[in-house]
Amino acid sequence: MRKKFNDTGPCIPEQHFMADISAKLAQIVALVEEGAYFTINRPRQYGKTTSIHGLFLALNEKTDYLSIKLSFEGIGDAVFENEAVFCQSFVDDLAYRLRNTHPDHATFLQKEMKSVGSFRRLSRTISDFVQFSGKKIVVIIDEIDKASNNQLFLSFLGMLRDKYIDAKSRLDTTFHSVILAGVHDIKTIKLKIDPESVGKFNSPWNIAIDFKVEMSFEPQEIEAMLTAYAQDRGVAMNTAKIAKQLYYFTSGYPYLVSKICKFVDEDVLHQKETNKWEQADTEQAFRMITYGGYTTTLFDSITKYLEDDSDLFDMIFDITINGASYDFNINAPVVNTAAIYGIIRDDHGMCRIHNRVFEQRLYGYFLAKQATEKGQIETAEDPGFFSGGRFNLRLVLSKFQEFMKENYAQRDEKFLEREGRLLFLSFLKPILNGKGFDFKEPVTGDERRMDIVITYLNRRYVVELKRWRGAQYHEQGLQQLSDYLDSYSLREGFLLIFDFRKEKEYKTEDILVDGKEIFVVWI
């Protein structure tokens, strides 16, 4: 079978090009060998199922272990009708999973199943089964979010907790290790069932250790996948550089790494006459995943999270559009929610949009929402916007200044603080309209700032959007922009300042900083 990059379901080594997750699996196996109970709670399409599959295979290579992999995906609601149905269904599922590999174990469980009508009886059946097996039994339960609204599941976990504690005192026999996998952790699930439990949380899973294995891909793990691909397909590439570039765009989000690779392999390289993967090809795939109406269940889920939670919407809007800074305080409900869904990550104690793909998708989402709810800003055509093979960003910024002075000069500070940057992005969008490409660069360490990079005919233009906070911060901002221009080897930059003072002046200025010419526009 011809291998490919996989973007659906678990990755299978014989079928798919895979990042090297051997070090991650070794860490998880070590936790199991210690007899740990834990939850792998990570965002959607973050490699949980692939890791579970690898763990399952690794454990079954050990003669003294028996791993059983279950899933709540597609089990339906009937399982949660009452205690007896749940308990019998759990035993039946164990037996079903063992029917081919361990038929004697399956037969034992099937005989026990009829008499399992309560958690107390299930507890005894588990003890008898462990003794019958004579092995260290590891139970892995995937897709626990499907049980997230059911108290029976929490009671089941409470029973496992009690058995775990008694086993430590040699008063009982139980599973060697139990691993749960899903988007939410158990605390989040309990709060969904009982919102009143805030502040008095007593987890049925407080025996679980913290799962600290980093599931995102590191550049060297990505490079191993690229090396295998290059050898298999005869593709010429600098695997180290491409791996770092993929990490730059995705921050190692597993699905996004595979998806961009898949675009390059099946679309970008397919259209080229040479069999060589260059950095420009990765950039083209990045544009494909962030532009052109392309969507997936992952992006749809993120949109739904934002639509359903106004606090989450406001925070992500503020970070994405206004460059706001938020402490990565996981105890703050909205921050915790954003982290659970993988929208943000911890960047030196501050919230940051998880990766550049999400950054760009969110940027486009908020622009589209602006156009849908408030109407698309009509930008007057001007032949001077594109002339002589260059994009005249000076003219665009000057026209935007006129637009704001004519239409929004009397609006209050609160409105302009929230909407001003979005108005510029909405003003810019129809001007580019396929002629150029604009993307937002994530910004850290400077409150209320964002950078937009525009490409047109292989030229780059950098415009920084910043709030006026006084002369001292202005000088610092100019130096920051100058340093940023160095990273692109540019000698010209643009600074758009939103000034919310009542005595503000609509003006422009050319400023020379470290040999770079910066065109500054005040709004």
Sketch the domain layout of the chain as residue ranges.
22-197, 219-290, 305-375, 377-523
Name the pairing type of β-strands 350-353 and 386-387: unpaired
Contact present, 42 and 342 (Cβ < 8 Å): yes
Closest by Cα among 20, 104, 28, 95 to 59: 28
DSSP code string of 169-236: TTS----SEEEEEESS-HHHHHHHH-GGGTTS---TTTTPBP-----SPPHHHHHHHHHHHHHHHT-E
Question: Is the pLDDT assigned to residue 414 strictly greater than 60?
Answer: yes
More confident residue, 147 or 49: 49
516, pLDDT greater than 90: yes
pLDDT in tens, 334-367: 999 999 999 999 999 999 999 999 999 998 899 8
The reported pTM is 0.88
Distance between CA 91 and CA 78 in Å, rounded?
Answer: 15
Q: Is the pLDDT of residue 299 over 50?
A: yes
pLDDT in tens, 287-296: 899 975 788 8
What average pLDDT does the segment 429-458 reach? 77
Over range 489-505, report the average pLDDT: 90
* Equal CATH topology for 22-197 and 219-290: no
Instruction: Label residue 3 by pLDDT band (50, 70, 90).
Output: very high
Residue 514 pLDDT grade (very low, low, confident, very high; cuts 50, 70, 90)? very high
What is the Cα 212 distance to its own chain's centre? 17
Split at pLDDT 50, 70, 90, the class of 502 is confident
CATH 3.30.390.30 assigned to domain 22-197? The reply is: no
Cα–Cα dist 343/150, whole Å: 26
Q: Name the strand (E) or helix (H) holding 41.
A: strand 38-41
Report pLDDT for 198. 45
> Where does the pLDDT of residue 130 fall: very low under 50, low under 70, confident under 90, or very high at 90 and above?
very high
How far apart, in whole angstroms, are the C-alpha atoms of residue 351 and residue 186?
A: 23
pLDDT score, position 200: 43
- pLDDT tens-place string over residues 207-223: 999 999 999 999 999 99
DSSP code, position 291: S
| CA distances to 47, 70, 491 from 485, in Å | 36, 52, 7
Q: What is the pLDDT of residue 515?
A: 94
> 491 versus 192: which is more confidently predicted?
491
In CATH terms, 219-290 corresponds, of 1.10.1660, 1.10.8, 1.20.58, 3.40.50, to 1.10.8
pLDDT at 192 over 50: yes
**Residue-wise pLDDT tens digits, 157-168:** 999 999 999 999
